[in-house]
Every structure is written in C-alpha cells, then in structure tokens.
Amino acid sequence: MSYQSIQQLLKTAPVGTTVTVKGWVRTKRESKNAVFIALNDGSTIHTIQVVAQPGQLPEETLKLITTGSCLAVTGQLVESQGAGQAVEVKIEDVTVYGTADPEKYPLQPKRHSLEFLREIAHLRPRTNTFSAVLRIRHALAFAIHKYFNDNGFYYLNTPIITASDAEGAGEMFRVTTLDAIKPPLNEEGKVDFSQDFFGRETNLTVSGQLEGELGAMALGKIYTFGPTFRAENSNTTRHLAEFWMIEPEMAFHELEDNMNLAEDFVKTVIRYAIQHCADDLAFLDNRLKEEEKTKKKEEQSEFGLLEKLQFVISNEFVRLTYTEAIDILVNSKPAKKGQFQYEVKWGVDLQSEHERYLVEKHFKKPVILTNYPREIKAFYMKQDPDGKTVRAMDVLFPGIGEIIGGSQREDDLDKLTARMHEVGIEPEALWWYLDTRRFGSAPHAGFGLGFERLVLFVTGMGNIRDVIPFPRAPKSAEF
C-alpha cells in the first residue's frame, strides 16, 4: 500500500492493518511497561502514538529517538488503551531518518512564547500553533480561488516589478540592477537609471490594481492574488513589508455592488475555513482561551475565536458614510474623555482604534464605511458630485480595523486626469492606464483584501508576523 499521511491514516485506516507512519517526534515517554512516542507529520494537528515494548528497541536506537528527530515506523494499528487517542501503532520496525540533539534543538515539548518562536521562525512550523495557522492559511487561499472561480472571475497575474505607484503613498522598494548603482553615478551623484536594464525607475508593486483595471476592462471580472511590498517602517501588529493581496476588479459594478461582493466574499471564505479546518480552529480557540486566562479579568475578551467568526458570518454588515462615522466618533465617550490616542476630525484618516470602536463598541457588527474625503484617498477613486468625497469603501472587522479597502473607480477621463495633476502624477506616465478611459470607458469597481489580515482574523493570532511563514518586517527579516 502506498504511504499515507497521519491525517489520512487516522481517517481511513482500519484497526488491525499494518501501517507505516513517518514524522517528527513530539514527545517520548518511557515507562516500565512500554515506550510511547508521539509522532506528527504536519498533515494534521493530531499526533499518532507509536508504542514499543520495553527492551524491544536497541539502546542505541532509543537514544537517537529524541524530540525533533524524524522516524519511519511500521506496525499494526490497534485500539489504544490510553486516554487521548482512539488508535496507536504497535512498533514492529523503526528507521531513524535523522536524530536531533536535545542540547541544541530549540523546540521542547512545552508551549514556547510567540516572541521566542519569532526568533526561530525557520523551525516554528513544527509547532502545533504554527502548523495550524499554516494549514488554515492554505485553506483560505484555496477558498479564495474557489470563490472567484465559482463566480466567473478570471485569475490575472499582475507585474511584481512595476513603474507605477498605485497608491501614491511613497512606500515603495526601489528595484534596480547592480550596473545602475555602481560608480560612476550620474553628474549629480545619483543612481543612473538610464543604465538600468529597464531604462527607468522601477519598484516592487504596492498593489496590482491599476493593471487589474486593464484586465477588468477586457475580461469583465478578474482578481489578482499575489505578493505586495510596502516599505512600512512601522511596528504595528497589522503591517508587514511583504504581504499578499487579493484584488478583484469588476467592470459594470458600482460602489453598492462592490460592497455586496466584499461582504459575500469574506463570509464565504470564512465559512469554508470553519467547515474545513475544524480541528485546527478548535486547537487555536483553546489556545486563545488559555492565554486569556492569564490576563486581568477586565482585559479578557468576552468572545472565543469561533464566536468571533460567527460574529462576522451571521451579521449583516452595517453600512454608513465616513461623515456619519465621524459624527458618531466625535460624540463617543472615548473622544469626549480624550481616550483615543489620535484625534478624530473630518478630513483625517481613521486609525485602527477608531475603526475598532465603531465595530466592537458602537454597532457590535462588522462595518463598511463609504464616501471618504478625497484628500485622504488615492487619485483613482470616483468623485462624488459634492466634490469633497469619493466613492471609497473600507471594510472594518473586530480586533483588526481595516481588512479591505476598495472603491468605485473614476471612469471619466477628464476628471481623472485633472485629479492626477492635482496630486502631482504625470498623466503621461500612466498613458496605458488612461487608455481604459479613452477607449470604451465603463463604470467599474474593485477592492483589496490583505491576505494576512484575513488569516490574522480567522486564526485569532495577535500579530501579523505570526500568520506568514517567512515574515518580512522591521527587525524580522532573517530570510
């Protein structure tokens, strides 16, 4: 029989058959009656117990079987007498693929702090917490592709090295060649980009949106799902320098359709995770509950992880304008008592503390805010007739604040170019983008979901560095 993962085996192998299991040792316990070894191969949160009789394994072999070592075990699958597992494997044959020196192996059979695990990010996927997070991350990625495929969207790959700064926020990583930066530089002592391979300044993409719009204006409905880079020199728990973004873009959609899609989309993918990651979510829920117990009573969260997920999928999202939200916030208790760290004022972007207040305290529902002041949003958003606001939308979640940012796009060529001039973007530089407005312009809309913000929410983890396998952020960029 071909080799089965522990996950498949626990689901399908009948008691009494001979099986082979392979994996890494989590714990080894020797008693008078037997040696118990817990093996995990990463396919599931569960370990499988393999059991040897005392004296069955040579002393030299037993010594090599340490926490972190890798084994293949063949034996009969039998009902387990012990508590905690239904079945176990009676060892008939063991191969030690690789041992792990207990003096040097950093992962011990105990719960390590997340801070410590961040220092050994290369090994942390071997822990229950991180393997659960990574399996949920996988399931969400799959659910996202499935959602769009089921709804008639085409997956479009947009450039990673690009000349455009879609957001205009100046948070870009410059990409160049060694030839361009080696002396002699140009007369002003600056990098000579004309010597570069591309012959112009290029950057790592901050968003695939502008190219995504080209796709929508040809294929109707597209989505991107790719890496995005922002030189965010901030140490928040919600920002990474390299993250993954999902950006659907739809022709013939206005702001209202965009909101409907965003709400249906996030609810559907979260429902998928609840259905397909029950064991991992139960583990993380439990982990979170234990962590809460260590906090002071007044700081403990009233919701468990699963309740938080229910909160999103079972509530209709509240929709209101930025201006209405500012009214609420200005008249809120924290604003009056001066408890917000940042001031709330019409015209200023909201901070996560304000967004969370609206969701967690005021409405007690997920929120979609619309029609933000044009000055704080990107140039491409459709202008409202009042000339002050644009048809933007941000979706706000508990514990996180902004999870999605989107808008209906400006489809009027004159308005768009006038706005570009105002914010200092040379329309010539984006001539290809403006062609979508020159030739067969149409109403269209789209949004961006930060993948890690979604994974953060669904796993209940507290720090975005803990939901990506190889975090890149200030002070965490080992790879």
Residues binding Mg ion (CB under 5 A): 402, 405
Q: How far is the CB of 396 from ligand ATP (least distance, A)?
A: 10
The residues of the shown chain that bind ligand ATP, judged by CB under 6 A, are: 167, 230, 232, 238-240, 243, 245, 402-405, 448-450, 452-453
Q: How far is the CB of 116 from ligand ATP (least distance, A)?
A: 23
In the bound state with ligand ATP, the residue whose beta carbon lies nearer, of 85 and 237, is: 237
CB-neighbour burial class of residue 350 (10 A; exposed 0-12, middle 13-18, buried 19+): buried
Q: How far is the CB of 210 from ligand ATP (least distance, A)?
A: 12
3-state SS record for 365-384: CCEEEEEEEHHHCCCCECEC
Lookup result for tokens 């990506």: 468
Residue 404 binding result from ligand ATP, Mg ion, none, given CB thresholds of 5 to 8 Å by partner type: ligand ATP
Residue 452 binding result from ligand ATP, Mg ion, none, given CB thresholds of 5 to 8 Å by partner type: ligand ATP
Q: How far is the CB of 462 from ligand ATP (least distance, A)?
A: 15
Lookup result for tokens 């309740």: 307
Q: How far is the CB of 206 from Mg ion (least distance, A)?
A: 9
In the bound state with Mg ion, the residue whose beta carbon lies nearer, of 75 and 405, is: 405
Provide CB contacts within 8 A for 194, sequence distance 6+.
none
**β-strands 367-373, 389-397 pairing:** antiparallel
Q: How far is the CB of 369 from ligand ATP (least distance, A)?
A: 12
In the bound state with ligand ATP, the residue whose beta carbon lies nearer, of 193 and 447, is: 447
In the bound state with ligand ATP, the residue whose beta carbon lies nearer, of 88 and 167, is: 167
Residue with nearest beta carbon to Mg ion: 405
- CA geometry: angle at 125 spanning 124 and 129, to 5°? 85
In the bound state with ligand ATP, the residue whose beta carbon lies nearer, of 243 and 317, is: 243
Residue 410 binding result from ligand ATP, Mg ion, none, given CB thresholds of 5 to 8 Å by partner type: none
Q: How far is the CB of 99 from Mg ion (least distance, A)?
A: 46
Return the structure tokens found at 125. Answer: 């996927």
In the bound state with Mg ion, the residue whose beta carbon lies nearer, of 355 and 411, is: 355
Residue 450 binding result from ligand ATP, Mg ion, none, given CB thresholds of 5 to 8 Å by partner type: ligand ATP
Residue 240 binding result from ligand ATP, Mg ion, none, given CB thresholds of 5 to 8 Å by partner type: ligand ATP
Residue 6 binding result from ligand ATP, Mg ion, none, given CB thresholds of 5 to 8 Å by partner type: none
Question: Which amino acid is located at 313 in the chain?
Answer: I
Phi, psi of 292 (to 5 degrees): -60, -40
Taking the CB of residue 199, how many other CB atoms lie within 10 A of it?
10
Largest pairwise CA distance in the chain: 85
Buried b (16+ CB within 10 A) or exposed e, 203-228: bbbbbbbbbbbbbbbeebbbbbbbeb
Return the structure tokens found at 394. Answer: 């941000």
Do 179 and 197 form a contact (C-beta atoms < 8 A)? yes
- CA geometry: angle at 194 spanning 192 and 197, to 5°? 105
- Measure the CA–CA gap between 415 and 333, rounded to whole angstroms: 40
Residue 226 binding result from Mg ion, ligand ATP, none, given CB thresholds of 5 to 8 Å by partner type: none
Q: How far is the CB of 350 from Mg ion (least distance, A)?
A: 8
3-state class (DSSP) for residue 241: coil
- Measure the CA–CA gap between 19 and 8, rounded to whole angstroms: 12
Q: How far is the CB of 186 from Mg ion (least distance, A)?
A: 32
**β-strands 70-79, 48-52 pairing:** unpaired
- Measure the CA–CA gap between 467 and 139, rounded to whole angstroms: 13
In the bound state with ligand ATP, the residue whose beta carbon lies nearer, of 35 and 329, is: 329
In the bound state with ligand ATP, the residue whose beta carbon lies nearer, of 420 and 468, is: 468
In the bound state with ligand ATP, the residue whose beta carbon lies nearer, of 248 and 450, is: 450
